[in-house]
Structures are given as C-alpha cells and as structure tokens.
Amino acid sequence: MLNVLVPLDGSELAERAISHALPIVESFVAKVTLLRVITPAEFRSQETFDRVDWRLHKHQAFTYLRNVAQTFETATVPFELRVEEGRPADVILETARELGTQLLVMSTHGRGGAVDYPRGGVASKTLSGFGGSVLLVGSGVIKKAATKVHYRRLLVPIDGSHRSECAMRVAMMLAKSLDAELVIACIAEQPELPHIVRDDRKAASLHRDLADLTRAAAERRLHEIEAQIPEEIALRTAVLLARRPADELSAAVRRFDADLLIASENLFNGSLGSLDRQMAGTQVPTFILSPKSIGSAFCELRTAEGDDVANADVI
C-alpha cells in the first residue's frame, strides 16, 4: 500500500494541492493521511497560554481536517486525520517516519502567500529531511485547480543515467491508469567549446562531431526504451541538448504542453534552491521520485473496480 502524507497549514493554497494528488493516489492502492500541525505558544513567544483555549484550538483543527476530507475523499481512497503539536517541519518528518510515508504532497506556498519557498522555511526543512518521493505544487498551478484535475500529458525527463530512468516505471503506470500521453525527453548536456579554441576550425569540427555523437547516443537509448513501452500507451520521445540540462525542464514543459512533470530526484542534484527556481518556471505539478521509495507500493495498481490489485508491468 502507498502511504501518502499531506501536511496542511489551514490555507486554501495548501489544501488545493490535494486535487493534484488525487489522480496519482487513486491509481494505486493507497491511504492518505491529512496532517495539521499546530504550534504551542511557547514555540512562538513566552506569553502564557490557556489550556482550555489550546484544547479548543485542537478541536477546531480536527473539524478543519474533517471538512477538507469531505471535500476530497473518494470511495477508493481512505483518508485519516491527525492533529499534532510542535514545530511543523519536525512534526511532519516524525509523522512521516512513524507512518512509513512513501509520498509527501506539499504546496510550495501556504499561509505566506506569494513568499516563494524560503530557505529555512517549513517546506525547505521538510524536503531536506525527507527521503521519499514528493509531489510539489506551486502557487501558479494551485490557482487553476478544481476539486480534482485530469492529467492529459505526462513529461518524463531523463539524462541517460540509470537513476533518472527510475521515474519511467511509475510514469508508465500512471499513463496507463489515467489514459494520458507519455512524453519521454532525453535532455543531454550540450558539449561546450572552450573559449580559447573557439576560432580554431579543427576544434569547431570536433565540437560538432561530439554534439552529433551525444544526440545519436540519446536517440539510441530512446529507441531502446520505446521497445519496452506497451503499445496501448500513447508515446512521444524527444532529444534535447542543453548546456545545463536541469534548466531545460521549464522549456520542455512548455514545448510539450505537459501538465505533470515526473522526474527522478537525481535530476535536481539534491539542490532545493535549484528545485525552487525550476518549480517557479514549470507552472505544473512536479512529481519527484526517490529510487528508495519506488518499491512495491508503487507497483500495486488499483483496478477499475477498485477492489482487486494488479501488479503493474515495469521497465
């Protein structure tokens, strides 16, 4: 079973990230936990705090979670509710470990509105300490969300490494379940000609040859991948050369009109700052898959009836 954790801070922005997670969650045998972390007064100031008021605050938090669950809960995906006390990032990580969470769903904005994903903030601290897969939804995406969205086109960027291709297994299962088109883009590093030899004709010729070899190798790998994708999945492939492959993600999303980006975590080089900049540019939800969490939980597809479990084909 896929264990999904959705931390909520009481803002509409955070809540509506759920609508983007539902198509993914409903494709698998999954359980969703909605978490509201409330911070004791001593963590905010040294003012006295009335325990009656505190219990009332917790009751209000549970009521809030129940209302959110009623809005989004489906017949196939059970929701559990939890209210915890403490520092938000610490509590989210502790709860994720306790539940064995494989997928964390977060918006990049919450009560802070348009303040973009600050280093040292809750989202940054949480992602730094979480080792599983993450669905991140930016504010530009959330504003366009309905109660439930439909993904038409899934973009999977790879760089030719085995780790980057781990995301294809989950992407293929989702494409089949959602009847969505799958776009696999091999984004290879564009060989750069050193400035000191840019006027050298031989160096320029070698540079072109290296670029041609890079493109040819990427095309060969894509042909190998195509042979392993079931025919019933609508598929497109492309080779993109870029000086900084990670920075090409936004352009690739626009080029293919994708509405969900699915990528292995290695494409972001473990840099939250790099991830934040690209989230701002892609304007689509970003599903970041950790190889450690791509296990049996992501291999149990929910059948049309919602009762039986079907093992998915994997690449």
- 238-294: per-residue pLDDT in tens? 999 887 766 788 889 999 999 999 998 877 665 444 454 555 555 788 998 887 766
- Do the beta carbons of residue 135 and residue 261 sit within 8 Å? no
Average pLDDT value over all residues in the chain: 79
The residue that leads in pLDDT, 299 or 78, is 78
pLDDT at position 84, please?
A: 92
Which fold, 1-149? Rossmann fold (3.40.50)
Highest mean pLDDT among 44-48, 186-190, 291-295: 186-190
Confidence of residue 196 (pLDDT cuts 50, 70, 90): confident
Confidence of residue 142 (pLDDT cuts 50, 70, 90): low
Highest mean pLDDT among 1-10, 203-212, 231-240, 242-251: 231-240
Residue ranges of the chain that CATH labels 3.40.50.620: 1-149, 151-281
Of the candidates 314, 310, 313, the residue with the CA atom closest to the CA atom of residue 29:
310
pLDDT at position 299, please?
A: 53
Please give the average per-residue pLDDT across 190-205, as a whole number: 84
Confidence of residue 141 (pLDDT cuts 50, 70, 90): low
pTM: 0.82
pLDDT at position 28, please?
A: 84
For residue 301, pLDDT beyond 70: no
* Domain 151-281 homologous superfamily, CATH: HUPs (3.40.50.620)
Distance CA 125, CA 168 (A): 28
- Do the beta carbons of residue 302 and residue 76 sit within 8 Å? yes
Structure tokens at 232: 């019933």
Q: Among 21-35, 172-186, 211-225, 260-274, which stretch is predicted with the lowest mean pLDDT?
A: 260-274
Of the chain, the percentage scoring pLDDT greater than 90 comes to: 33
Distance CA 121, CA 118 (A): 5
Confidence of residue 199 (pLDDT cuts 50, 70, 90): confident
Residue ranges with strand state E in 56-193: 79-85, 103-107, 133-137, 153-158, 181-189
Confidence of residue 81 (pLDDT cuts 50, 70, 90): very high
Highest mean pLDDT among 29-38, 73-82, 137-146, 271-280: 29-38
Distance CA 223, CA 266 (A): 23
Of the chain, the percentage scoring pLDDT greater than 70 comes to: 76
**188 contact partners, CB below 8 Å, separation of at least 6:** 159, 160, 214, 215, 217, 218, 239, 240, 241, 242, 245
